[in-house]
A and B are shown apart, each in its own frame.
Chain A
């Protein structure tokens, strides 16, 4: 089995990739996907911690997994809202390029 450190490295890698995607890409769809990536990186970290500390943590054996389920639910809701916003933006501007969405500049 993988050690906790290895799993955390994986999680950090995924999180960094996600962050890069959110910051650097122009396509909103890709940004949303990167966001999911960041969330899942966090999930991995939580599950790993959950397993490593299962016997000592106050949350008991399944604490980490329950947290992850929670995050998944939130992520699903976020994806639903994000995608519907995306649809509206597309209908309004016929574009999903983030750089063009700067009508609120000062």
Chain B
């Protein structure tokens, strides 16, 4: 009964309540103290709980209280579970989250919605921690929906601008589509497992019993039950974690304040889909067909997003597509069974992507909310510190050793390599090829982003010239901490062939051990790991060098490529995001609007307004017309009627009395 676990999500919630209700009165200083202090305390509690898990070696658990129960049918407690996986996730969320809270003090200074912003941010922390700690799928779903809500609120934070509100709505609706599938998955789990507790859903024996059953679905025929559940849960994850086909909301979500993009749309919320997969690892492993689908979607998303990132000129859009692309990597890793690598990438990605976003926020702040990289350039001189930290993040995401991204990405690529070439799976080979290519592209477009922003000649507005200066204080401090984390984060999980212990993987229980292998097989495996690592270093290196060349001396090469036929085509496709938004608009949004309009005319205008409302009024009016002639205003007439009435009544009375008298 470790009730202190409850404080981890509860403290930010208190911050939300306090700042939300009283924030306007107590002044910005108190608001910042409460909003940043409580997540930091949460972090400390998480840290202590983590120490406890490390020392004792067993997960912590809070049984909570019964929450929803129908006797003999459903029993869902409100209980929290803190194992290795949740511990790491909690530390990342509260740690990176606290840093971003501190950063926000500098970034949001002077905003009229200051207290509202921090209230939402704290609420987000609450739901995110609930998602991570919840010991059953339904509790997780509450967190899942809650972070979606906060995401919506914060994307549309500057609600005076219609475009921001539209972006918020888009994110919410896209997420709803995924959440619907998630909910269906939960229902299936409930009917077939009889419970939603994580311990039951990850129990191999129970999964085997359920796996034997099939489900008949119209058009698809008979499908394995576990496969169906996994696919439904995965569709939920594609919504939240921005995968094909539901990824289009994430780039639009950049309409929110930049620290929000860093916290919600890069470091934490969007990785909750991956967390879901890791949490239910045995369930996912029991559905190999679904895993292939996941690997394919992940790899394709990684490639598509990287291709789009080439053509974007908004610094935050580039980072957004890079996030989508990296999330694709994580799902690719899940798909090839490397849950440990996927989760490791979640952690390192949280570090370096938060750093990159905060760096871009620093640039945007310094440039007075200019986000177009075509109007930047040469900022290295004005923003030296931001430049250095941003470069660290860029090299980390590009996979330069020994920065964080190198280890995690290498592990993912190796997992694909292992399944594809050592395991002999054609699909895995193809998806590995795609991811491998994407690794080079990632290096290229990130260097392009740095080059356009920080290097070369200045293209800044003459008005801004001289006004651009390094934002100090909390912003600088946050960048520094995250830069250190991005540089060193990779050492959390150094693989065995490089002399490490894969400690993160073992701690979270996601790493598959090599105990069953002979000395010789282990040797072959390590040799393959070396091959894979050299390959991924080569591709990342060539991407980096090509980008250095293109955005340095080799401008002619770039111009020639852009002006060539395929270059033009690719450029246009990339700049227009492969027309996916347009496609969705014409296939889903417009028909939906047309049907809505038709319904509006038929149901609302004609049936409800016309027949029910106006019809009732018309009926009353016409009947009234009919009877109003009785109201002659001629008093003797009334009196005559009255007299006749009395006569009739009298007659009836007498009649009645006579019959009564007979009795």
Contact = CB atoms under 8 A, between A and B. Distances in A.
Interface string B225-252: 0000000000000000000000000000
Nearest to B632: A105
A1 interface: no
Interface stretch (B55-63, B304-312, B635-643): B635-643
A90 to B, nearest CB: 16
A42 to B, nearest CB: 13
Interface string B483-526: 00000000000000000000000000000000000000000000
Nearest to B628: A106
B632 A102 contact: yes
A16 B629 CA distance: 29
Interface in A60-106: 98-99, 101-106
Contact of B639 (A23, A101, A104): A23
B630 interface: yes
Nearest to B640: A23
A101 B635 contact: yes
A23 B643 contact: yes
A102 B634 CA distance: 5
A105 B633 contact: yes
Interface string B625-663: 000111111111001100100000000000000000000
Interface of B: 628-636, 639-640, 643
Interface residues of A, number: 13
B636 A105 contact: no
A98 B632 CA distance: 12
A19 B650 CA distance: 15
Contacts of B640: 23
A106 B639 contact: no
Interface in A5-57: 19, 22-24, 26
Interface core residue of B630, B631, B632, B636 (most chain A CB under 10 Å): B636
A35 B561 CA distance: 113
A105 B633 CA distance: 4
Given A23-B643, A103-B633, 9 more contacts: A23-B636, A98-B634, A98-B635, A98-B636, A99-B636, A102-B635, A105-B633, A106-B628, A106-B630
A106 B640 CA distance: 18
Contacts of A99: 634, 636
B636 A24 contact: yes
B633 A104 contact: yes
A106 B635 contact: no
Contacts of A24: 636
Given A19-B643, A23-B643, A106 B631 contact: yes
**Across the A-B interface, the 8 shortest Cβ-Cβ residue pairs:** A102-B633, A105-B633, A106-B628, A106-B631, A104-B633, A102-B634, A98-B635, A105-B632
